[in-house]
Amino acid sequence: MYIDTDFLIIGGGTAGCWAALNFRKYSDARVLIAEKADIKRSGCLAAGVNALNAYIAPGKKPQDYVDYARADAEGIARGDLLLTMAEGLNRAAGKLEELGLTILKDEHGQYVTRGWRNVKINGENIKPILAKAVLARKNITVLNRVNVFEYIVKDNRILGAYAIAVDEPVMYVISAKAVLCATGGASGLYKPNHPGFSRHKLWYPPFNTGAGYAMGIRARAEMTTLEMRFIALRCKDTIAPTGTLAQGVGAKQINSAGEVYEDKYGITTSQRLHGTVMENLSGRGPCYLKTKGITKEQEMDLVKAYLNMAPSQSLRWLESGQLPSVKNVEIEGTEPYITGGHAAAGYWVDTNRKTTVRGLFAAGDVAGGCPQKYVTGALAEGEIAARAAAKYMGEKTPQLNTNEAEAVKQFLEGSGGVNVSFTVDDLEEEMQAVMDKYAGGIGTSYRFSEASLKIADEKIQELEKQSNLISATDMQELVYLLELKERLTLCRSLIVHLSVGKETEYYINSRLENGRISVILRPLVREGEVYEH
């Protein structure tokens, strides 16, 4: 099926919905959102969230947020991107409230803050609120249950994308003047904390497979900072957030001897994890957040907070009878994830969120260089990208090559065609085992060597070959196969980035050239500087 639009948005999550809403302010052109699930409950906000963790509280300014986020990223983040994002944080929060989001207020009518960069919300319906606003706007069309898997690019200009329906045998050929990639980051690259039946009990949504990254890599877009993996410090087994404990009741990180170790290692995101790993390796584990002795009021606040965002933690406390006031909460690290929302991995973009492929923009988790987005940051980037895309609308409508589209269709219909004994699940588990053992997963306490990365790359290439032999019997299986290929593509680029990850005075960028991933070292954008393509 051929579809023609002006502005194609791939991914109807936080950034995608916001980009569509804002694009309508600047242009009357047609907008099409292609969403793998349903925009009413898709993306990282599908289950809701209890705070907007990127907000400039009274007395602070956007530059303060830039300084915080850049320091947390050890100076590798892009200050120009952080500033343009930070300037839009509070505006995004206000617009969300206008759409119907409940932001908690004190007796003076001011937002209830948690620290100087968070505001509390009742956010269980944040995604339906966004979806309702999108569906009410004219000239915005939403294609739910459609999986975009490849860009259409000619002479480094994007012409559109190929997609398939998840539920019926339909391939879409979508032509567009401009495209925004607003897909999620990547989970499932590494062996998870809980393999086997519970392998999708993750910190990050399992349906985020790195599709946007993989499409960019294959289209020869320049990517950045993939080596900055995000490894969350979480409550053991439940994978519930630890920040609510650390910030909400001031819980300190302690080892098995009751010693506070966070003062020794530091309290940035990476330092909290590093300290926990080192204490365990030194035989002083297990490690905990010290909650024993908190008040009953604090305890009840924690139970309520976790019921809102990670109910398994509250249920564990209640079922065991060992509430946080009487027993400290054990903590551990997750498997590594690739995300531009918490860390800085993604497309190399300029301040307008333009990628190095003409007409292709990126926002949210796939836009690199700008960490700590935390909902409002993704909204701000969606607005920036939409404004830039609207200006780009002067380009002529691209002409697609129907022969190339037919070749893609035949590839999908063939989809391997060889009778093999292994399945997508088999190869996915093998990929995760390889990455865990040789590319710094939980099993090696996140450590790797030059030799182990070489082995990882060889094994991932072999799995890529095997993935080409698998046949899909229905559309859902075809989606799973394409997702496996996306993860394998991203694994290869990640391995290359990790191999040069010791560099601290440059951004580690890469581009696919003649089948090989070439490394590009770009100088850091210093304070007050701005990078544009």
In whole angstroms, give the CA distance from residue 172 to residue 343.
33
Considering the domain architecture, whether residues 179 and 216 belong to the same structural domain is answered as yes
Is the pLDDT score of 188 beyond 90? Answer: yes
Residue where a domain stops, chosen among 380, 401, 422 = 401
Residue 155, domain CATH? 3.50.50.60
CA atoms within 13 A on the CB side of 144: 10
Flag whether 64 is in a domain.
no
Q: pLDDT over 70 for what percent of the chain?
A: 97
Residues 196, 303 within the same domain: no
Question: Model confidence over 310-321: pLDDT tens digits?
Answer: 888 999 999 998
Angle between helices 126-136 and 14-26 (to 10 degrees): 30
Residues 137 and 36 in one domain: yes
Identify whether 62 is part of a domain.
no
Task: Please report which confidence band the pLDDT of residue 416 belongs to, taking 50, 70 and 90 as the band edges.
Answer: low
Rounded to whole angstroms, the Cα distance separating 43 from 341 reads 12
Please give the average per-residue pLDDT across 451-461, as a whole number.
98
Residue 495 lies in a domain: yes
Please write the tens of the pLDDT for every residue from 106-156.
999 999 988 899 998 999 899 999 999 999 999 999 999 999 999 999 999
The chain-wide mean pLDDT, for the chain, equals 93
Same domain, 274 and 353: no
Q: Is residue 257 part of a domain?
A: yes
Q: Which pLDDT score is estimated for 488?
A: 98
Same domain, 439 and 420: yes
Nearest CA to 349 out of 385, 374, 378 is that of: 385
Q: Do the strands 506-513 and 516-523 form a parallel or antiparallel pair, or are they unpaired?
A: antiparallel
Q: Determine, yes or no, domain membership for 221.
A: yes
Mean pLDDT on 160-177: 96
Domain assignment present for residue 98? The answer is no
395 with 290, same domain: the answer is: no
User: Is 354 found in the same domain as 409?
Assistant: no
Output the CA angle 531-532-533, nearest 5 degrees. Answer: 125
Taking the C-alpha atoms of residue 472 and residue 106, their distance in angstroms, rounded to an integer, is: 55
- Stretch 15-20: mean pLDDT: 98
- The CA distance from 113 to 59, in Å, is 12
Q: What phi and psi values does residue 407 have, to the nearest 5 degrees?
A: -65, -40
Specify which residues 260 forms β-bridges with.
254
In angstroms, what CA-CA distances link 194 with 191, 352, 357, 443? 8, 40, 38, 12
Res 9: pLDDT: 98
What pLDDT score was predicted for residue 465? 95
Last residue of a domain, one of 351, 386, 401: 401
For residues 173 and 198, membership in a common domain is answered with yes
For residue 423, the number of C-alpha atoms closer than 13 Å in the C-beta half-sphere is 6
Domain boundary among the residues 354, 385, 401 is at 401
Q: Report the chain's C-alpha Rg in angstroms.
A: 23
Per-residue pLDDT reduced to its tens digit, 75-91 = 999 999 999 999 999 99
For residue range 285-318, list pLDDT tens digits in order.
999 999 999 999 999 989 988 887 788 899 999 9
DSSP structure class, residue 307: H
User: Residues 495, 415: one domain?
Assistant: yes
Tens of pLDDT, residue by residue over 263-278, are 999 988 889 999 999 9
Q: Is 510 a residue whose pLDDT tops 60?
A: yes
pLDDT band at 395 (very low <50, low <70, confident <90, very high): low
Question: Span 50-72, mean pLDDT?
Answer: 94
Query: Per the domain annotation, does 112 fall within a domain?
Result: no
The strand order across the sheet containing 360-362 reads: 140-143, 31-34, 7-10, 178-181, 360-362
pLDDT for 396 beyond 80: no
**Which CATH number does the domain housing residue 470 bear?**
1.20.58.100
Q: Which domain holds residue 255?
A: 234-333
Same domain, 386 and 456: no
Distance CA 82, CA 447 (A): 29
Residues 314 and 200 in one domain: no
Q: How many domains does the structure of the chain reveal?
A: 3
- pLDDT 10s digits, 189-225: 999 987 666 666 788 899 999 999 999 999 999 999 9
Pairwise CA distance, residues 14 & 402, whole Å: 33
Q: Provide the pLDDT for residue 197.
A: 61
Compute CA distances 163 → 43, 175, 186, whole Å: 18, 11, 19
pLDDT given at position 414? 75
Per-residue pLDDT tens digits for 232-244 = 999 998 888 898 8
- CATH code of residue 295: 3.90.700.10
* 456 shares a domain with 350: no
**Helix (H/G/I), strand (E/B), else coil: 498:** helix
pLDDT reported for residue 401: 83
DSSP three-state, residue 278: helix
pLDDT band (50, 70, 90) for residue 504: confident
